[in-house]
Chain A
Amino acid sequence: MVVDDIDAFFREQGLRAELLTEAAAFRRQYNGQGVRKISKPHFPYFGRQIVEAALSALLTGANLLLVGPKAVGKNILAENLAFLLGRPIWNVSFHIDVDAAYLIGMDTFRDGAVCFRPGPVYECVTAGGICILDEINMARNEALAVLHSLLDHRRQMEVPGYDRLVLHPAARFIGTMNYGYEGTRNLNEALLSRFVVLHLPVPGEQELQELLTYEFADLRKGVASTLSALFLDIRKKYEAKEISGRALDLRGLLDAVRLVRQGLTAEQALDMGLTGKCFDAQERALVKDLLALRIPPDWGREDFFAK
């Protein structure tokens, strides 16, 4: 995929032309992206209104917080936005032990002397990249306080003992979070006020079908529709707390389709891609029933794909 492709894709989806023009202008204005290459998103994000809102926010210089449950495409959207703006990505996965040193950088010994080894946030903001703060609410709020001055109007921070870190004008932060997910906590207001927030909708049958047919162009229409319905069934069961979120795995579903293409039956492939991720016998039985209700177990390559 090249930028023109994604431009064309979003134009087809009905994205406002002026936004695409502004994104193109942004790309021209900040042409050099440094050493790191611009990564091409594997999937386009399906959801015109969301892309419009998110792109508008980034073009105005705001930082974006993408909120949504599992498998709604938070990272895919972030990658699409970075690609539209022509900026490289730094992906920082947050966890409980993230601290200021991990984000900004730390002292290290080099050639017998203590020197500064920059962290991902430092590298990203100096290169004008898009910094994806993935699962931002997995870290302690105290650890994130160090980012406050970078995220607000000051756009700079003091690195103790070293220089002042000044934000590149093209640099943007995109936080992602899954509220209520195990291991998460509330973001404090000080941090939250430095983001504009976008709640991502759960993809419906239409979006899932589009994603499946985008990834597998020869997938039969009926199969795409059945797989989408299956995925929504799993989500519903997960939301009703009958099963954990293990089987709610869009990547697993795509993997299963690939396995069918490779020659496995639908039952085998979906067992590997989805059911097998549940380690509780009862939960596995419930997911298996869901699969049985939607897809004949002996379906294979010929049933899934058009010749």
Chain B
Amino acid sequence: MTYQSLSDQRQKRALNIVWAAAGQYGIWPDFLAFCQNGEPDIYLNSIVGLVYRHYDSEMLMRYIREQLYKSLFAELFTELFWLGLENAAYEKEISCRPALKDLRYRHAKRFLAEDASVDISLQQLMLRQELAHTLKCNRCREILGDPAIILNPWDKRLYQALAFSGNMNTAELIAAMENIIRSFFRFHWHNKPREVIHFTSHAFLLNLLKKIWPFHQGHREEQIQQLTFIASAADKGNSLKTIFNRQDKIPTDKELSACYGRSLFSQDRLAEITRRYCQGIHRQVCLWFSAEKGAVRKENTAYFHQHHARFTTELHALTNRLQNALLLGRQAVQLPARNGRLTADRVWRGLILHDGRVFSAIEPTKREDISVMLLLDGSASRQGRQSIIASQAYLLTEALRQVGIPLSVVSFFSQDGCTVLKRLKAFQEKSAQGIFAYKTQGWNRDGLALRALPELWRDMYGQKLLFILTDADPSDERSIPAQGIALEKFYGGEPACKDTKEAVKELRQQGIQIMALINSVVATELVTKAAQHIYGEDYIILQSLSNMAQKVGDVLEQAIFYVHNQKM
């Protein structure tokens, strides 16, 4: 197991503890706690979850983010507030969760043991917020029934004030914390021993102050795990802009090869393909096919690892469904025969009718009679969803690989007058890792990409199923050239939809069954209209991309039955 996957697993586990304690899934807490050995701290994470369960978490987090974080003592106040919240949540829950007492005890024991450990690094010591740490140690000693270590009366009073009661509600908790800040941290003559001051300010000024102010500073990033992994979408290919800066210029093969990877086809074959498809409204653009996937995008793999547990469950379910459909649809056909397995219910025919065909022969079936292509719109309109699309495509590929259905994944986009079809996984390829190289850029000239697609599907036989993930809004920066008296037009809107519709029709005529998976930010009614226009009835609106693989599974299941029924 790699370090990365182990860390992801631990993070996922910590998150699951929070979710279980909160009684709600899908929340993304700002805090996750881990022990020194890297394992999730079950007690502290359960406290985070219990805070979500019992209090108005939105109000609490808003208070932390908008009030405490803006303070010069953000780290200290946040830690103190959580110390108070821990007590409150514990008191509130203990009556119905007996295990909590034991978990708290174990946590306290381990915390003090780690504190006393000689292995603690100088760096860790420097990063520690001392006041909060002293109070935490005292809380742990109290839990274990050991004598207190706080001697300073100011510290003692602060410690007592932080014992928030389980009867307090959210507003009371916030008020109690505000009261603590007012009483202990604003400048007063009587709290001179600590000589502290509290004020809030703009983040820039705070950072400046933190640099020049000679006071002990905790390091929150060491303790807080930010969980938002969805990376910003890929760049829009700015480097290409510098190469192809003239709008009407068609890039040369050399330029294309440098940008998108070597061509999948020979020069002659590519020229022939270009001649065949780049005509009519596409006569001023070109095509490029590449099997060079490029580097795996880190944000894609990070997203996949973050949701690994869920994907594993989904993969298992999807694989089983497809296997089941194949079993049903492809059960070997038993035919009456003169030899083979004796069929009891035909024996009478042998005795009475003298029919020798009392055996059955099993007709073997192949799975290669169906192949699936997943065509991913790789234009910049997919920005922000790149990782989720890559993960879902990977999930689907794995499921199909396990049941033995050949699948190929291709992404397409158009840029600087070239429509690029990038093969992320070939039919024969065993590894699906290339799918994580999926990245978004440029435009989408759907009509041309769809027409050219069969070039990547030549060596497969039997039923061909094409799933295209699209927003049903084809558009390209390269216009539709002037034709006769018709003026030059933008490739988009009605003309582009019409072109794509014709491309879909041509594919159907070639025997390819098409299903469009529509996901768009545009209002559903508008998308539905465009989708109906282009794909007829063969489309599904995906409100969320997170169930793309399941939806494809549904359609695939039906398609398997359909293929089976056609054979019968």
Contact = CB atoms under 8 A, between A and B. Distances in A.
Contacts of B20: 233, 236-237, 289-290, 293
Interface string B83-100: 000000000000011111
A307 interface: no
Contacts of B348: 107, 114
Interface string B210-228: 0000000000000000000
A107 B344 contact: yes
B17 interface: yes
Interface string B330-350: 000000000000001101100
A261 B205 CA distance: 64
Interface string A65-96: 00000000000000000000000000000001
Nearest to B9: A282
B324 A183 contact: yes
A296 B345 contact: no
A109 interface: yes
Interface in A206-222: 222
Contacts of A280: 312
Contacts of B26: 240
Contact of A286 (B13, B102, B103, B320): B13
A301 interface: no
A152 to B, nearest CB: 25
B321 A182 contact: yes
A134 to B, nearest CB: 17
A237 B26 CA distance: 11
Contacts of B313: 241-244
A244 B316 contact: yes
Given A242-B310, A289-B42, A109 B324 contact: no
B550 to A, nearest CB: 10
Contacts of A285: 9, 13
A242 B16 contact: yes
A188 to B, nearest CB: 12
Interface in B1-23: 9, 12-13, 16-17, 19-21, 23
Main secondary structure of the interface of B (DSSP, over half): helix
Interface string A197-212: 0000000000000000
Interface residues on B, range: 35 or more
B16 A237 contact: yes
Contacts of A222: 98
A289 B13 contact: yes
Contacts of B325: 185
Interface in B92-132: 96-103
B469 to A, nearest CB: 22
A156 interface: no
A283 interface: yes
A240 B19 contact: yes
Question: Interface range on chain A: under 10, 10 to 19, 20 to 34, or 35 or more?
Answer: 35 or more
A15 to B, nearest CB: 31
A293 B42 contact: yes
B199 interface: no
A302 to B, nearest CB: 14
Given A244-B313, A292-B99, A294-B97, A236 B9 contact: no
A108 interface: yes
B204 to A, nearest CB: 40
B320 A289 contact: no
- What is the predominant secondary structure among interface residues of chain A facing chain B? mixed
Interface in B210-257: none
Interface string A264-307: 00000000000000001011011001101111111000000000
B12 A282 contact: yes
A229 B324 CA distance: 34
A225 B96 contact: yes
B46 interface: yes
A242 B312 CA distance: 9
Contacts of B97: 226, 229, 293-294
A25 interface: no
Interface in A111-135: 114
Contacts of B314: 241
Nearest to B101: A296
Contacts of B328: 96, 140, 185
B168 interface: no
A145 interface: no
Contacts of A166: none
Contacts of B98: 222, 226, 295-296
Given A243-B313, A293-B46, A298-B102, 16 more contacts: A107-B348, A108-B344, A182-B324, A226-B97, A240-B25, A240-B310, A241-B310, A280-B312, A282-B12, A283-B309, A283-B312, A289-B13, A293-B42, A293-B97, A296-B98, A296-B102
User: 9 smallest A-B Cβ distances: which pairs?
Assistant: A240-B25, A182-B320, A296-B102, A114-B348, A107-B345, A183-B324, A241-B313, A241-B310, A296-B99
19 contacts: A96-B327, A107-B344, A107-B345, A182-B320, A185-B324, A225-B96, A229-B97, A233-B23, A240-B26, A280-B312, A282-B308, A283-B312, A286-B16, A289-B20, A289-B40, A293-B99, A294-B99, A295-B99, A296-B98
Interface of A: 96, 101, 106-109, 114, 140, 182-185, 222, 225-226, 229, 233, 236-237, 240-244, 280, 282-283, 285-286, 289-290, 292-298
Interface of B: 9, 12-13, 16-17, 19-21, 23, 25-26, 40, 42, 46, 96-103, 308-310, 312-314, 316-317, 320-321, 324-325, 327-328, 344-345, 347-348, 351
